[in-house]
Structure 1
Amino acid sequence: MTTSTPITAEDRRRLWHPRGTLCAVCRQPSRGFGWFDPVRSKRPRPSVWFCSMSCQGYWTRLARERVAMVDLTDDERAAIAATMKRVALLMDEIGWATSLGGLSEAQVRALIEESVEGFREAMSDIAKANAPEVPF
């Protein structure tokens, strides 16, 4: 005969929390703010997770404006432009005459990290700027 231990609130929280997922807007680790498709179906429900309420609100506003996200939005284009400035500063250090094939592994890694971090920060700033003030 086996004994079962009762399920605690902490156990239930672990079942739904998005461990290891990234924010759908700025790609930071998610912190429990999320959305899932409320329509019941036999397939798994699509869901997305966010790091903050401002990112969640931004994503919700975008989702209302359009059904399918295929093309870049104006905000994503602005984030790319902000990222290009950061990458250009790094390329000044590396040297513009250097071909991509001539870059060391550390230089390629630095370029990728600068691109991802710059885009993430720009999207986060845009989401915060577009977030309405909390009335309390």
Structure 2
Amino acid sequence: MTSSTPITAEDRRRLWHPRGTLCAVCRQPTRGFGWFDPHRSKQPRPSVWFCSMSCQSFWTRLARERFAMVDLTEEERAAITATMKRMALLMDEIGWATPLGELTEAQVRALIEEAVEGFREAMSDIARAQTPEVPF
């Protein structure tokens, strides 16, 4: 079945770009950087998507070092430490003596958002710092 309208670059991009997928490193929306397992012959092949070349390079380096990651990496531990500092500032505002069961919905939401955003930003910063500058 042929169509009278020509296929555009945007039409071709829509066929492979993972809409709504989050970066495997920092959990930002992906921007077309990806990886798939070239050794598996059965479809669908395992694939991972990234927001930037620095996140893609970071993930590739970690995958080479340890394919089956069960424990936290040193980078993830550093990101957790950075996140803890941000969480402490928020807990200072809420009050350290406040039991978790007495937090309001807004306070719980703020804690979760701070934890997720802090970890994402820290992982992105670590990936950017460990990736050499692109020469172009």
Fold match by TM threshold 0.5? yes
Measure, in 2, the Cα distance between the counterparts of 1:99 and 1:116. Answer: 21
Amino acid at match of 1:31: R
Question: How does 1:70-109 map onto structure 2 within 5 Å?
Answer: 70-109=70-109
Q: What is the CA distance between 1:41 and its match in structure 2? A: 2.6
Q: What is the CA distance between 1:37 and its match in structure 2? A: 1.1
Q: What is the CA distance between 1:15 and its match in structure 2? A: 1.0
Structure 2 unaligned residues grouped into runs of 5+ = none
**Which residue number in structure 1 is paired with residue 130 of structure 2?**
130
**Which residue number in structure 1 is paired with residue 63 of structure 2?**
63
How high is the TM-score relative to the length of structure 1? 0.93
Q: Deviations over 1:105-136 (max 9, x none)?
A: 00000000000000000000000100112223
Question: How does 1:6-45 map onto structure 2 within 5 Å?
Answer: 6-45=6-45
SS of residue paired to 1:49: strand
Distance 1:134 1:42, change over 3 A: closer
Measure, in 1, the Cα distance between the counterparts of 2:50 and 2:100. Answer: 34
Q: Deviations over 1:62-97 (max 9, x none)?
A: 011011011100000000000000001000000111
Structure 1 unaligned residues grouped into runs of 5+ = none
Measure, in 1, the Cα distance between the counterparts of 2:63 and 2:17. Answer: 22
Question: How does 1:112-127 map onto structure 2 within 5 Å?
Answer: 112-127=112-127
Identity %: 86
**Which residue number in structure 1 is paired with residue 47 of structure 2?**
47
**Residues matched between the structures, number:** 135
SS of residue paired to 2:126: helix
**Aligned-residue CA RMSD (Å):** 1.4
